[in-house]
């Protein structure tokens, strides 16, 4: 009876309930960082404004259709919110349209996705159920308004949205110009408006190739030559001339694993020894620079010395572009090139991309024998993967460049109990707890691979590079990470956690050392060419030879953050790199590098979206 006396229109009730739910998800499930009262108010306002905009449109429909519209809109809006939540739990990021085109990867993600779905997620359906219930119980759930009243109800939408945008620009000036960080967009304009913005940008970038011309690449090329350091050979030029190159991309490995222990047992005993070897050069301040493409981004950056895209993965969206990649350059200098990865060829669209950038052969999952005993998690275990690769490697024409991509140490980091040689960690994060066991397993697999290379007679004539491809533990697990490291994980500490192993092992070198330079994946291509004694004066890179004295002194992340010799800049805060002390904004210590970072990220986007290398003569 009381429900029948309720006179508040159902679309307003739906707007309030859905907006409140969305705010709750933003605040406590996405765990978006809030720094002041204005940010909190904007975060509360934008979901209410977006919800009112969608549900107020119902007043223009016939009464019967109003109710149907509200029910469907509530359900679809909840699904969009939930899909982003599941995605965020793994990647600490939001879905973009290019990511949706990577749906062919979903079949390989089943076990990973299941770990990201929580029982309490059912609470997100409460408002949907309540609106459906009210639509059945209220005598007049629909509203009948005259034309002027409908216009007035709709006009409130534009006032709310305009107010939201004005406040967002006050809080984050040039929000839509420097839109590298999707978290800022979602915090300031809301998830749904962000998706509209993303759709607009997708349309714009699709048109960018049509209007591109050769003058753009010449301007960018001049910038690269001026900013990335001298073309003169560095001290390490030709050290590995004519040697085979074995490049091992180690899945989800971060530097904090090195020298760590669980209950007195070393996590990575082999890598701990390798980084101290007289034949190994270890760059301890090497950073991954990947974005939404994760492992494929890692491959793209290291092979091209270009940045990944701000949205989606280059391997999917622009695999047919013209590039001047490392495999192609090495092929022109007498190298046979190959990739070993026991996954299907379509994952990350590798089969198409590899052929385009010059690889001679891809040894995918069909090249390996998988059995129930040697397969778990994402596929063939790393120990068996390396063992089965040796016969193929022995048959290759020399010198060769061969890349190995491991699988075992992959989210959700599951390992059969009988294969674990280290205890699980004990924290509130199952992901972090399991992370050390798969890391130890991969460490053992790497040790076995080195022994097999020696037995096969390939070790002495090769240079072996090990690189972590991207982070394994996201911001979602900061609390557990803080417990393990014994300190709070703030933005400064989080940036430092993006360091991944990078070791250059040259048998017989005997001048191994630990290097302190701030370097990243963008620097791998020019560094490797220098080691091999290959000069390509027409090549274009955003990276520098890591051994060069006048190398570029910063590395940039795709969201606009950066690390330089002196500073770390992230989340709009400038820190001293060594001490972690915050630098006052008025000092503008980070501003000169910020301007270069923004320029480089935009230039890299221009190259990819415009397919600019088709206008450039590399030979």
Please count the other Cβ atoms lying within 10 Å of the Cβ belonging to residue 455. Answer: 10
**Site of tokens 């995918």:** 364
| H or E segment and range at residue 79 | helix 63-91
Please count the other Cβ atoms lying within 10 Å of the Cβ belonging to residue 394. Answer: 12
Q: 17 CB contacts (<8 Å, ≥6 apart)?
A: 127, 130, 131
DSSP 60: G
| SS3 at position 342 | coil
| Residue 351 burial class via C-beta count within 10 angstroms: exposed 0-12, middle 13-18, buried 19 and up | middle
Residue 285 C-beta-side C-alpha neighbours within 13 Å: 18
What length does the chain have? 619
Q: 407 CB contacts (<8 Å, ≥6 apart)?
A: 251, 341, 342, 343, 377, 378, 379, 380, 381, 382, 385
- Measure Cα distances from 214 to 60, 204, 206, 208, 309 in Å: 50, 19, 18, 13, 21
| Whether 172 contacts 156, CB under 8 Å | no
215-225: burial string, b at 16+ Cβ within 10 Å, e else: ebbeebbebbe
Residue 67 C-beta-side C-alpha neighbours within 13 Å: 15
**Site of tokens 């030879």:** 545
**Site of tokens 């990867």:** 105
The CA-CA-CA angle for residues 45, 46, 50, to 5°, reads: 120
CA distance 222 to 228: 10
How many helices and strands (H and E) does the chain possess? 22, 19
- Of 235, 243, 293, the C-alpha closest to 102 is 293
Per DSSP, what are the bridge partners of residue 556?
562
Q: 577 CB contacts (<8 Å, ≥6 apart)?
A: 518, 563, 564, 565, 566, 567, 568
| Whether 405 contacts 396, CB under 8 Å | no
Please count the other Cβ atoms lying within 10 Å of the Cβ belonging to residue 178. Answer: 16
DSSP 288: -
Going by DSSP bridges, is the β-strand pair 582-583/573-576 parallel, antiparallel, or unpaired? Answer: antiparallel
Residue 197 C-beta-side C-alpha neighbours within 13 Å: 20
CA distance 359 to 337: 5
- Of 546, 552, 547, the C-alpha closest to 565 is 552
Per DSSP, what are the bridge partners of residue 287?
499, 520
Give me the DSSP letters along 27-51.
IIIS-----SHHHHHHHHHHHHHHH
Catalytic residues: 295
- Of 569, 619, 618, the C-alpha closest to 598 is 569
């Amino acid at each position: 009876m009381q429900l029948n006396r309720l006179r508040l229109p159902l679309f307003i009730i739906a707007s309030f309930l859905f907006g409140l739910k969305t705010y709750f998800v933003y605040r406590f499930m996405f765990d978006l960082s809030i720094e002041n009262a204005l940010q909190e108010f904007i975060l509360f306002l934008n979901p209410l404004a977006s919800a009112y905009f969608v549900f107020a449109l119902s007043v223009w429909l016939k009464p019967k259709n109003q109710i149907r519209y509200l029910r469907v809109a509530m359900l679809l809006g909840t699904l969009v919110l939930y899909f982003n939540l599941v995605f965020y739990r793994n990647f600490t990021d939001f879905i973009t349209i290019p990511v949706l085109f990577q749906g062919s990867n979903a079949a390989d993600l089943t076990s990973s996705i299941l770990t990201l779905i929580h029982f309490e997620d059912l609470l997100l359906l409460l408002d949907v159920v309540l609106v459906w219930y009210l639509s059945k119980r209220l005598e007049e759930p629909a509203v009948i308004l005259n034309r002027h009243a409908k216009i007035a109800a709709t006009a409130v939408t534009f006032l709310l949205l305009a107010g939201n945008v004005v406040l967002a620009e006050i809080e984050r000036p040039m929000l839509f110009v420097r839109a590298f960080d999707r978290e800022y967009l979602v915090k300031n304009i809301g998830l749904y408006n962000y998706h509209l913005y993303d759709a607009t940008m997708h349309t714009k970038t699709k048109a960018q190739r049509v209007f591109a011309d050769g003058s753009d690449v010449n301007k960018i090329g001049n910038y690269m030559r001026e900013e990335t350091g001298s073309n003169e050979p560095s001290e390490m030029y030709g050290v590995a001339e004519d040697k085979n190159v074995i490049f091992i991309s180690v899945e989800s490995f971060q530097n904090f694993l090195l020298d760590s222990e669980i209950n007195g047992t070393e996590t990575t005993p082999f890598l701990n020894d390798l980084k101290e070897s007289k034949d190994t050069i270890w760059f301890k301040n090497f950073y991954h620079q990947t974005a939404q493409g994760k492992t494929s981004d890692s491959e793209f950056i290291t092979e091209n010395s270009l940045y990944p895209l701000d949205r989606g993965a280059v391997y999917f969206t622009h695999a047919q572009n013209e590039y001047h990649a490392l495999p192609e350059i090495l092929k022109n200098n007498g190298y046979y090139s190959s990739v070993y990865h026991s996954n299907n060829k379509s994952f990350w669209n590798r089969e198409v991309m590899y052929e385009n950038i010059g690889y001679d052969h891809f040894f995918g999952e069909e090249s390996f024998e998988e059995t129930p005993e040697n397969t778990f998690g994402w596929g063939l275990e790393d120990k068996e993967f390396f063992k089965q690769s040796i016969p193929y490697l022995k048959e290759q024409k020399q010198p060769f460049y061969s890349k190995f991509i491991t699988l075992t140490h992959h989210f959700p980091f599951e390992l059969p109990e009988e294969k674990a040689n280290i205890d699980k960690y004990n924290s509130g994060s199952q992901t972090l707890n399991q992370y050390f066991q798969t890391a130890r397993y991969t460490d053992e697999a790497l040790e076995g691979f080195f022994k097999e290379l020696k037995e096969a007679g390939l070790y002495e004539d090769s240079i072996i590079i090990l690189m972590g491809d991207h982070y394994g533990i996201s911001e979602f697990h900061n609390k557990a990470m803080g417990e393990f490291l014994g300190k709070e994980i703030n933005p400064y500490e989080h940036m430092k956690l993006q360091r991944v192993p990078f070791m250059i092992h040259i048998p017989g070198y005997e001048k191994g050392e630990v290097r302190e330079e701030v370097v990243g994946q963008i620097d791998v291509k020019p560094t490797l060419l220098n080691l091999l004694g290959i000069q390509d004066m027409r090549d274009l890179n955003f990276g520098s030879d890591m051994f060069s004295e006048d190398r570029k002194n910063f590395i940039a992340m795709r969201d606009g953050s950066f690390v330089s010799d002196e500073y770390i800049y992230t989340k709009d805060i400038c820190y001293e790199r060594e001490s972690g002390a915050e630098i006052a904004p008025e000092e503008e210590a980070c501003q000169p590098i910020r301007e270069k970072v923004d320029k480089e990220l935009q230039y890299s986007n221009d190259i990819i979206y415009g397919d600019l290398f088709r206008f450039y003569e590399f030979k």
